């Protein structure tokens, strides 16, 4: 469960988030929308402790994040799988090694790592490209590799920042279906996107941000 | 959520995980170095030259030191007395000088004794007996109490010279003390030069490593974002620094050996010409070993500096 309690973030004299209250239940899947500058990125950055709130508290499973020290931040971040718009794969290594990165960091054994990487790649339908360099894959395939990397260590939370921003509608639908599949096995999913036509067809909560506050429509 | 990462790590063992991460970092760093061999060799050369130059100086001093004959032996001062002094007067003077604090011991060598010894040593006894008078003066052999202190020795010589009975003072092995001082000075010069070169090597390495880190900015950002600890991120760069430094040290050791072999011929001939039983001392195994260890330490230090600097800037953004 993720709770934002009266969270504000100021940059100079500008408020990126104002007094935001928000709860994401365990096992829930929600979309975070809003115009650019509405505070989506700030919200995600605060959640991943890439930034700290000016005031208010963010609690994860009831535990306040405000007193997580810098030394403990990496371990905290490993509870999240993160998918980026530009997928941020490393082109100096194979698809397998990209997906394996979170497992290597967490200290899994090589055999365990290989097994889990193959399972994750199988789920996103790219098992046959295990040895390929991600640079030769299409945009949609690269994003699926990014998703495999995000879920391979079986995180509690899956966070995606504009995961379909660069993809056509058909690929976008496929990617969202993947997120739903992970949500169905219990992962809490939060997807920031402004692809309103797509998410309006999916039956999940839509959290709309406007000028750093929750906008009126907060439908389930 | 069948198994949290922590549990799995516990099963497999923290140590095994740590070792496996190190092995992976060590291997990938090595592959990156080998894939850019020309650049790598250039870094090795920079480190090697910085380490080899002061080492050559120190090795040269090591070779010169045995040539200073027995510095433990005190510098003796020979004092020739005026020809008009008789033996009793000379003996009186000996006792007087003996009481000086700057003097350890004084021996009187009478002119007759000196002539006999001279005759025996040169085989000219026959000839010397034909002289109508002994040309040699009485001599005092003075052993200074602080033979190694150049300043005290000079003052003693001055004091001796000031005596009216004294004709001439000869400190024949004063040059040894001087040579010794030159060696000490040379050693310090070598250490200072070495320190400067090593500092230069650290800075050059740190800069190279900083660029190497900056070139992998994207990877660092991604790994940081998905929960890589600073130690995990830093590890490959520490290995890169280690390889740069240790490789440079190894190369410096090889340079010393090659130089030694090249110089050995003429140097040994020179030793022979000076009737020295000495042989040119090579760097042995100790110099290369110290150089490799020193290089490795420098490399680690440099990469530590570079990564701390880079990550602190990264955090600032």
Q: What is the pLDDT of residues B149-183, one digit of tens each?
A: 667 777 888 888 888 888 888 776 566 667 777 88
What pLDDT shows up at residue B12?
62
What pLDDT shows up at residue B277?
65
Whether residue B266 sits in one domain with residue B202: yes
Whether residue B82 sits in one domain with residue B63: no
User: Among B115, B165, B119, B113, which Cα is nearest to B135's?
Assistant: B115
pLDDT digits (tens, 9 = 90+) for B5-20: 555 555 567 788 888 8
Whether residue B277 sits in one domain with residue B218: yes
- How far apart are the C-alpha atoms of B88 and B91, rounded to whole Å? 5
Tell which B residues from 192 to 231 touch A, by Cβ distance under 8 Å.
Answer: 218-219, 221-230
What pLDDT shows up at residue B76?
75
* Reported confidence tier of residue A99, pLDDT bands at 50, 70, 90: very high
A15 three-class SS: strand
What pLDDT shows up at residue A220?
46
Q: For the domain that residue B105 is a member of, what is the CATH number?
A: 3.30.70.3040
* Reported confidence tier of residue B75, pLDDT bands at 50, 70, 90: low
Which of these three, B144, B172, B200, is where a domain ends? B172
* pTM of the model as a whole: 0.71
For chain A, the average pLDDT equals: 90
* Reported confidence tier of residue B190, pLDDT bands at 50, 70, 90: confident
What pLDDT shows up at residue B44?
94
How deeply is B245 buried, as exposed, middle or buried, from its count of CB atoms within 10 A (0-12, 13-18, 19+)? buried
Cross-chain Cβ contact A78/B227 below 8 Å: yes
More confident call, A68 vs B72: A68
Whether residue B111 sits in one domain with residue B23: no
User: Among A73, A82, A76, A79, which Cα is nearest to A26's?
Assistant: A79
Cross-chain Cβ contact A78/B8 below 8 Å: no
For chain B, the average pLDDT equals: 83
Chain B, nearest residue to A101 by Cα:
B223
Kindly give, in sequence order, each residue whose CB lies less than 8 Å from that of residue A209, ignoring residues fewer than 6 positions away: A32, A33, A34, A38, A39, A40, A43, A215
What pLDDT shows up at residue B189?
86
* φ/ψ (deg, to 5) at B124: -110, 20
Whether residue B83 sits in one domain with residue B60: no
Percent of chain B with pLDDT over 70: 88
* Reported confidence tier of residue B123, pLDDT bands at 50, 70, 90: confident
Whether residue B59 sits in one domain with residue B189: yes
Total structural domains within chain B: 2
Residues spanned by the domain of B159: 77-172
Residue A105 with chain B: CB contacts under 8 Å: 223, 226-229, 232
* Reported confidence tier of residue B268, pLDDT bands at 50, 70, 90: confident
What pLDDT shows up at residue A219?
47
Tell which A residues from 17 to 46 touch B, by Cβ distance under 8 Å.
Answer: none
Tell which A residues from 58 to 87 touch B, by Cβ distance under 8 Å.
Answer: 74-78, 80-82
The CA distance from B237 to the nearest CA of chain A, in Å, is 16
In angstroms, the Cα distances linking B183 to B60, B195, B246 are 10, 18, 30
Minimal Cβ distance to B229: which of A48, A74, A80: A74
User: Which of A12-16, A193-197, B82-86, B144-148 shows the lowest mean pLDDT across its residues?
Assistant: B144-148
User: Which of B121-130, B169-178, B211-220 shows the lowest mean pLDDT across its residues?
Assistant: B169-178
In angstroms, the Cα distances linking A194 to A45, A186, A208 are 17, 24, 10
Task: State the complex-level ipTM.
Answer: 0.85
What pLDDT shows up at residue B69?
59
Does residue B289 register a pLDDT over 50? Answer: yes
User: Among B58, B48, B30, which Cα is nearest to B245's?
Assistant: B48
Percent of chain A with pLDDT over 90: 64
More confident call, B160 vs A6: A6
Percent of chain A with pLDDT over 70: 98
More confident call, B101 vs A7: A7
Decide: A209 and A43 in contact? Cβ < 8 Å.
yes
Chain B, nearest residue to A87 by Cα:
B222
Which of these three, B172, B207, B236, is where a domain ends? B172
Whether residue B62 sits in one domain with residue B22: yes
How deeply is A178 buried, as exposed, middle or buried, from its count of CB atoms within 10 A (0-12, 13-18, 19+)? buried
Q: Are strands A157-161 and A188-192 parallel, antiparallel or unpaired?
A: parallel
What pLDDT shows up at residue B70?
55
Percent of chain B with pLDDT over 90: 22
Residue B218 with chain A: CB contacts under 8 Å: 88, 90
User: Which of B66-75, B100-109, B222-231, B271-280 shows the lowest mean pLDDT across its residues?
Assistant: B66-75
Does residue B240 register a pLDDT over 90? Answer: yes
Cross-chain Cβ contact B18/A107 below 8 Å: yes
Whether residue B303 sits in one domain with residue B190: yes
Does residue A42 register a pLDDT over 80? Answer: yes
Whether residue B274 sits in one domain with residue B243: yes
Mean pLDDT within B46-72: 80
Cross-chain Cβ contact B14/A154 below 8 Å: no
Whether residue B300 sits in one domain with residue B199: yes
Which of these three, B118, B145, B172, is where a domain ends? B172
In angstroms, the Cα distances linking B100 to B50, B75, B105, B106, B139 are 51, 17, 9, 10, 17
Whether residue B88 sits in one domain with residue B33: no
Does residue B67 register a pLDDT over 80? Answer: no
* Reported confidence tier of residue B1, pLDDT bands at 50, 70, 90: very low
What pLDDT shows up at residue B278?
67
Does residue B131 register a pLDDT over 50? Answer: yes
Whether residue B267 sits in one domain with residue B183: yes
More confident call, B13 vs A151: A151
Minimal Cβ distance to A106: which of B9, B16, B225: B9
Sign for the CA dihedral angle at B9, B10, B16, B21 comes to positive
């Amino acid at each position: 469960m993720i709770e934002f309690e009266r969270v504000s973030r100021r940059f100079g004299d500008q408020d990126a988030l104002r007094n935001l209250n928000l709860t994401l239940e365990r096992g829930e899947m929600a979309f975070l929308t809003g115009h650019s500058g509405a505070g989506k990125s700030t919200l995600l950055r605060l959640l991943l402790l890439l930034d700290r709130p000016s005031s208010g508290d963010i609690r994860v499973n009831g535990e306040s994040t405000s007193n997580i020290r810098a030394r403990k931040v990496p371990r905290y971040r490993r509870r999240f799988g993160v998918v980026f718009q530009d997928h941020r794969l490393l082109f100096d290594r194979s698809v397998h090694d990209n997906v394996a990165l979170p497992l290597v960091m967490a200290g899994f054994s090589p055999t365990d790592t290989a097994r889990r990487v193959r399972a994750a790649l199988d789920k996103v339908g790219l098992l046959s490209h295990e040895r390929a360099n991600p640079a030769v894959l299409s945009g949609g395939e690269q994003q699926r590799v990014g998703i495999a990397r995000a879920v391979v260590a079986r995180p509690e939370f899956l966070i995606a920042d504009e995961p379909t921003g660069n993809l056509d509608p058909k690929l976008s639908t496929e990617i969202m279906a993947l997120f739903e599949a992970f949500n169905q096995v219990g992962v809490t999913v939060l997807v920031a996107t402004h692809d309103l036509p797509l998410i309006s067809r999916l039956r999940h909560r839509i959290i709309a941000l406007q000028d750093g506050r929750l906008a009126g429509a907060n439908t389930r | 959520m069948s198994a949290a990462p922590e549990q799995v790590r516990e099963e497999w063992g923290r140590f095994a995980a740590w070792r496996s991460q190190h092995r992976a970092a060590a291997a990938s760093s090595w592959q990156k170095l080998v894939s850019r061999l020309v650049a790598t060799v250039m870094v090795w050369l920079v480190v090697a030259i910085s380490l080899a130059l002061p080492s050559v100086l120190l090795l040269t001093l090591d070779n010169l030191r045995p040539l200073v004959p027995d510095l433990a032996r005190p510098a003796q001062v020979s004092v020739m007395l005026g020809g008009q002094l008789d033996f009793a007067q000379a003996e009186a003077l000996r006792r007087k000088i003996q009481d000086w604090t700057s003097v350890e011991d004084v021996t009187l060598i009478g002119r007759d004794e000196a002539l006999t010894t001279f005759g025996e040593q040169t085989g000219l006894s026959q000839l010397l007996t034909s002289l109508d008078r002994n040309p040699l003066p009485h001599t005092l052999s003075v052993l200074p109490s602080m033979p190694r202190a150049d300043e005290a020795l000079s003052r003693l010589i001055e004091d001796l010279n000031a005596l009216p009975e004294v004709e001439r003072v000869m400190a024949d092995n004063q040059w040894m003390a001087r040579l010794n001082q030159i060696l000490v000075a040379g050693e310090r010069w070598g250490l200072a030069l070495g320190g400067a070169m090593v500092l230069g090597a650290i800075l050059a390495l740190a800069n190279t490593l900083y660029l190497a880190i900056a070139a992998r900015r994207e990877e660092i950002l991604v790994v940081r974002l998905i929960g890589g600890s600073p130690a995990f991120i830093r590890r490959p760069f520490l290995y890169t620094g280690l390889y740069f430094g240790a490789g440079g040290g190894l190369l410096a050791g090889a340079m010393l050996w090659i130089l030694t072999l090249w110089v050995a011929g003429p140097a040994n001939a020179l030793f022979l010409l000076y009737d020295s039983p000495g042989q040119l001392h090579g760097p042995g195994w100790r110099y290369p070993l110290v150089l490799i260890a020193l290089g490795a330490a420098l490399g680690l230090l440099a990469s530590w500096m570079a990564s701390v600097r880079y990550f602190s800037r990264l955090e600032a953004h």
